[in-house]
Amino acid sequence: MPYHVHEKLISAAALSGATLNQFVVQSALEKANSVLEREWVLKLTLRDAEKIFEAVDNPPPPNDRLIEAAQAYKKEFGDEQV
């Protein structure tokens, strides 16, 4: 690593009250979280969000596959609240 980069990292670590190692690990973790969040967070348009809220507020009636799945669950686990 170039000397000027090393010096900058040491200065930043000192200002944060951390060792160089702690500073580098924390910085890498923050960057990793940022990258992962960018990939994991669902980004919706207003139109998309309205469709989701509408489906939650007014769900469609269950189709045959959902009814069959609920019956199979009830048979397997004996849950009377399905």
Determine the 3-state secondary structure of 60 from DSSP: coil
Domain ranges of the chain: 3-40, 46-77
Rounded CA-CA distance 25/31 in Å is: 10
Give this prediction's pTM. Answer: 0.51
Residue of 1, 23, 2 whose CA lies nearest to 11 = 23
| Averaged pLDDT for residues 4-29 | 97
Q: How many CA atoms lie within 13 A of 15 on its CB side?
A: 6
All residues at 6 or more sequence positions from 80 whose CB lies less than 8 Å from its CB, including other chains = 74
Q: Decide if pLDDT at 82 tops 70.
A: no
Q: Give the chain's mean pLDDT.
A: 92
